[in-house]
């Protein structure tokens, strides 16, 4: 697997309604002008000057370190990320979100009648929504052709190329890099080739659209997380005909530093507690990140064999094997409060009896 301004019930006064339609903002509301990130500014300058050093011919920003990288899992101890409010920084972690995103009284009544709506589904972009293995492998082969290099057909080597970061692949697997500037040039070109191949992508993973139709009918909100920039991701979803199914998007611009942080950001955007979210992943690292966030994990067998996905709560070969009832069963063994935070009751031990010795004089 490869990518907030957050708002929760206690952090912001605006919350998404149950029918997924955002309320209109007041016409006189003014937002402060935010400082533009330096990377984005350099991208704009390059485009204005006609430079193509870090951007492709299609106008995409190309962050080589974000696409071909093995990201941190995150939230190993329940830690989250930091956001900013008018009164100062606020640290968001798993326990905080599970506590602050509790359902209100009316929501509890609604979810009692329609329990499926209480869940939130989070889909990883890589190999869950789209087959990005082909995109990445083609980008590597095109780069090899341009550089006059060769990529072995060995399955193990190609798997390592797809799962490891570009720095590791270039230096330790393919042994292409001979200098820092040469490595940066090849990584930048690799990202350009990936974005060019992305423009040709128009077909989602088999069975995904039918599954999204089913969860949409059940009115279960969905989010997608990715390392791609938002513009590229939205355009790819539009080409695949999936835009209408996702109520939230977590992209590169959200600034999340790990897989778990993206999942937490998606939960906030869906207005669902992390413990009521289900993550759809294909990578063992993503499954671990989901569990670190107290989320359920459904593994899609494909990029990794079933025996590498045994830690998932459910593993399927394709989306056609799923039904909405599977989501209920994930939380069924402990009832509706499964995975909710529980306070440990510590019983006070009675005071020890003091033994005294009576002495008769």
Residue among 236, 67, 233 nearest 136 (CA)? 67
Helix axes 132-147, 180-198, angle to 10 degrees: 130
Whole-number pLDDT of residue 85: 67
- pTM comes to 0.74
Whole-number pLDDT of residue 333: 64
Quote the tokens at residue 239. Answer: 């080409």
In sequence order, what are the residues at sequence separation of 6 or more whose Cβ sits closer than 8 angstroms to the Cβ of residue 46?
52, 53, 54, 55
Whole-number pLDDT of residue 294: 93
Quote the tokens at residue 336. Answer: 């509706």
Residue among 61, 14, 16, 89 nearest 266 (CA)? 16
Whole-number pLDDT of residue 82: 74
Residue among 54, 88, 6, 288 nearest 185 (CA)? 54
Q: Walk along the chain (361 residues) in steps of 10 and give the mean pLDDT of each run.
A: 45 42 44 42 35 42 60 81 71 86 87 89 95 91 90 85 85 82 88 92 94 94 94 95 96 90 94 94 94 94 90 93 88 56 54 59 50
222-225 vs 120-124, strand pairing mode: parallel
> Across 45-183, where does the E strand assignment appear?
81-85, 88-92, 120-124
Whole-number pLDDT of residue 332: 78
Residue among 241, 214, 243, 163 nearest 319 (CA)? 214
Q: SS in 3 state form for 90-125?
A: EEECHHHHHHHCCCCHHHHHHHHHCHHHHCEEEEEC
Whole-number pLDDT of residue 72: 87
Residue among 303, 259, 257, 256 nearest 283 (CA)? 303
Residue among 291, 263, 271 nearest 77 (CA)? 291
Between CA 185 and CA 171 the distance in angstroms is: 14
Whole-number pLDDT of residue 198: 93
Whole-number pLDDT of residue 83: 73
Whole-number pLDDT of residue 157: 85
Beta partners for residue 299, in sequence order: 281, 315
Q: SS in 3 state form for 137-190?
A: HHHHHHHHHHHCCCCCCCHHHHHHHHHCCHHHHHHHHCCCCCCHHHHHHHHHHH
* DSSP string for residues in 224-274: EE-SS-HHHHHHHHHHHT-GGG-SEEE-GGG---SHHHHHHHHHHHHT--G
* Sign of the CA dihedral running 68, 69, 73, 79: negative
Whole-number pLDDT of residue 290: 95
**Radius of gyration of the chain from its Cα atoms, rounded to whole angstroms:** 24
């Amino acid at each position: 697997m490869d990518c907030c301004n957050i708002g929760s019930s206690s952090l912001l006064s605006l919350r998404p309604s149950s029918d997924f339609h955002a309320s209109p903002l007041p016409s006189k509301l003014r937002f402060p002008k935010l400082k533009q990130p330096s990377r984005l500014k350099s991208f704009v300058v390059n485009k204005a000057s006609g430079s193509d050093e870090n951007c492709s011919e299609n106008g995409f920003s190309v962050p080589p370190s974000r696409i071909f990288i093995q990201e941190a899992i995150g939230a190993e101890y329940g830690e989250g990320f930091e956001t900013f409010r008018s009164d100062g920084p606020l640290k968001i972690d798993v326990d905080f979100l599970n506590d602050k995103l509790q359902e209100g009284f009316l929501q509890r009544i609604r979810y009692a009648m329609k329990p499926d709506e209480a869940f939130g589904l989070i889909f990883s972009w890589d190999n869950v929504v789209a087959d990005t293995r082909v995109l990445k492998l083609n980008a590597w082969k095109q780069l090899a052709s341009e550089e006059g290099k060769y990529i072995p057909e060995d399955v193990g080597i190609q798997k390592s190329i797809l799962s490891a970061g570009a720095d590791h692949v270039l230096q330790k697997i393919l042994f292409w890099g001979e200098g820092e500037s040469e490595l940066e040039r090849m990584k930048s070109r690799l990202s350009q080739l990936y974005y060019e191949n992305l423009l040709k992508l128009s077909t989602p993973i088999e069975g995904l659209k039918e599954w999204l139709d089913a969860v949409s009918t059940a009115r279960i909100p969905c989010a997608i997380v990715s390392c791609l920039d938002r513009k590229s991701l939205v355009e790819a979803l539009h080409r695949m005909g999936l835009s209408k199914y996702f109520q939230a998007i977590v992209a590169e611009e959200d600034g999340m530093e790990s897989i778990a942080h993206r999942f937490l950001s998606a939960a906030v955007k869906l207005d669902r507690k992390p413990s009521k979210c289900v993550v759809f992943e294909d990578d063992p690292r993503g499954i671990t990140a989901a569990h670190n966030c107290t989320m359920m994990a459904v593994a899609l067998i494909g990029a990794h064999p079933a025996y590498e996905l045994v830690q998932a709560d459910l593993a399927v070969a394709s989306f056609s094997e799923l039904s909405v009832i599977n989501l209920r069963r994930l939380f069924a063994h402990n009832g509706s409060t499964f995975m909710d935070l529980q306070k440990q009751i510590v019983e006070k031990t009675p005071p020890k009896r003091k033994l005294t010795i009576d002495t008769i004089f």
